[in-house]
Amino acid sequence: MRIMGLDVGEKNIGVALSDPMGWTAQGLEVIRRQHNDKDFARLQEIIKEYGVEKILVGLPKNMNDTLGPQGEKVLAFIEELKARVDLPIQTWDERLSSVAAEKLLIQADVSRKKRKQVIDKLAAAVILQCYLDARAK
């Protein structure tokens, strides 16, 4: 089952995909947010092109397990996504996923400029890989 992982932010949407067996996650692209219709159209293209069967959306929670303003925005995004695609959509706690992605890029000696270009898709891959690992246990 191919799963699409999303890291939804105000400016970008990081997109990752699992392999067809659902074992590994790879960052696919960063969608620069423009307009909801364009953003969702691109997601629908990816779903069709790769045969996505499930969507996993990172849900940003506060360290005390509550939702802040960004978490509420992600939930609103999910509601609109549900109206546009007929696939199961699940959330996954994404706390510290961007921090983990940043550390990976620094360890790989990626320049600050390039990190900005790929951080969101790597964060989506981290979120998706954590989900895949937890599901495998």
What is the pLDDT tens value at each position of the chain, 137 positions in all?
999 999 999 999 999 999 999 999 999 999 999 999 999 999 999 999 999 999 999 998 777 877 888 889 999 999 999 999 999 999 998 865 666 666 665 666 666 666 566 678 888 998 999 899 888 87
Residue 111's contacts (CB-CB under 8 Å, 6 or more residues apart) are none
The pTM (predicted TM-score) of the whole model is 0.88
Q: Please name each of the domains of the chain with its CATH number.
A: 3-136 (3.30.420.140)
Please tell me the predicted confidence (pLDDT) of residue 39: 96
What is the rounded CA–CA span in Å between residue 104 and residue 19?
Answer: 21
